Amino acid sequence: MMNSITSPTSPSFRHAKGQQLADALQGARNYTLSLFDCCAEAGFEALARVPHIATINPPLWELGHTAWFAEWFILREARSSHPADAQHHCLLTRGDDWFDSNLVPHRSRWTLDLPSAGALKTYCHEVHDRVLDKLAREPGTDAALYPYRLALAHEDMHGEALLITLQTLGVQVPLALSRDEPSHTPGAAIRYPGGTIMLGAQEGGFTFDNERAAHQCYVAPFEVDSGVVTNAQFAEFMADGGYQNRQFWSVAGSAWLMQQERSSPRYWQRDGANWRSMRMGRLSTLAPAEPVRHVNLYEAQAYCAWIGRRLPTEAEWEYAALSGQAGFRWGQLWEWTASPFEPYPGFVADRYREYSAPWFTTHQVLRGASFATQARMASARYRNFYLPERDDIFAGFRTCAY
């Protein structure tokens, strides 16, 4: 369980080798298949039954894509994600035409003549068996294990994306699969003296390209909440006219607000004196002390303006998370930061060329992890990134001040 952690509680995938890596790959594949089965049981196996929503993919496409990605980098020994860089043919005659996200525009994924779910599951099992067989013969070097760790991270990310899809579609998910048990957190603030830190990933193991190169960064003294903002705290902002008072909203936030006509976070519903929320297909009363979730960057910024504080930069967040201060708790929700997603000095795109570079400047950095994130993915240096308006993701925020 990832909730309320100050450091990862499971071994990181970044240094996984041998049987540990094989077990993680097996677990990731089982999780993908279990979530897909939830979609199928709710009637969303067929492409035509899935609504055209810009923030999700049809589950059948997700199922095939995750296996295709592992086959591309591991079995087909692709030098990069360029369509011409695979050394071997796909097990599926039209696999590249169906599942290469570089070649298949998002809007067209609902109209593909994909194989049946049964056929794609057979493909998934065949890829997985061959991957494990090949892994058993690999040397334990970072270079040799890079594609396996990449494929594992990719499937873990798509596992969380599938859970977001289920939430978006209102599908009930067994609690054991959603792992949704957010704990209560205090809102006290912690003072940090600042100083020069090494920002970014260190050498050794697996690193994402946007975490490189590690570089020195000066962080001025600052104060930051020990935990993320709660439902009760955000409800005070709402009760004080936070959504109606435009002085708290940025220009972009005001434009989004006018389009949405929003007066509460996504999924919130008024029930007398209480608020309820739809979570994984179940309507439940919101606990006041739980972290507020499904808020976007604009809502987080508006709350900060209302309370007279701000979002932490990603450097401040990383400083606090790596400080060893037990009071700084993270891992319940992804956390919006004040930092646009930009390359670190010396950035060079990795073999998965489209992982970071296309999203620089348009996306915003989130730090931490959520209850839906596999514990092996947790890292205080991990840079997640989304468009500012995304409120479907499992995200919240904490406030900061100088």
pLDDT (tens digit per residue) in 94-115: 999 999 999 999 999 999 999 9
Flag whether pLDDT at 76 surpasses 90. Answer: yes
pLDDT tens digits, 1-10: 333 444 445 7
Whole-angstrom Cα Rg for the chain: 21
- What's the confidence (pLDDT) of residue 1? 33
- What element of type H or E holds 210? none
**Band of pLDDT at residue 326, cut at 50, 70 and 90:** confident
CA distances from 402 to 101, 195, 203, 316, 366 (A): 42, 13, 32, 11, 20
Quick one: pLDDT band at residue 208, thresholds 50, 70, 90?
very high
Residue 91: per-residue pLDDT:
98
79 Rama sector, left if φ>0, alpha if ψ -120 to 50, beta otherwise: alpha
Closest CA to 126 of 74, 62, 183: 74
Give the Cα separation of 284 and 67 in Å (integer). Answer: 35
Identify the band that residue 185 occupies on the pLDDT scale cut at 50, 70 and 90. Answer: low
Confidence label for 375 from pLDDT (cuts 50, 70 and 90):
very high
DSSP E strand stretches across 23-132: none
Nearest Cα to Cα of residue 18 among 191, 151, 139? 139
Q: What is d(CA 209, CA 58) in angstroms, rounded to the nearest whole number?
A: 28
Please tell me the predicted confidence (pLDDT) of residue 332.
93
Q: How confident is the model at residue 145 (pLDDT cuts 50, 70, 90)?
A: very high
Report how far residue 311's alpha carbon sits from residue 400's, in angstroms, rounded to the nearest whole number: 5
Task: Annotate 222-244 with three-state secondary structure.
Answer: EEEECCCCEHHHHHHHHHCCCCC
Confidence check: pLDDT of 303 > 50: yes
- How many other CB atoms are found less than 10 A from the CB of residue 389? 18
Computed from CA positions of residues 339, 342, 344, 350, in that sequence, does the dihedral angle turn out positive or negative? Answer: positive
% of the chain beyond a pLDDT of 70: 96
Q: Work out the average pLDDT over 61-70.
A: 98
The torsion region of residue 265 among left (phi > 0), alpha (psi -120 to 50) and beta comes to beta
Q: In this predicted structure, what is the pLDDT of residue 180?
A: 79
CA distances from 69 to 76, 144, 305 (A): 10, 17, 42
pLDDT tens, residue by residue, 256-278? 999 988 899 999 999 888 899 99
401 band by pLDDT with thresholds 50, 70 and 90: very high
- Give φ, ψ of 198 to 5 degrees: -95, 105
Alpha helices (H) in 77-180, listed in sequence order: 95-99, 117-135, 142-169, 175-178
| Whether the predicted pLDDT of 196 surpasses 70 | yes
Residue 291 identity (one-letter amino acid)? P
Across the range 351-365, mean pLDDT stands at 98
Q: What is the pTM of this model?
A: 0.95
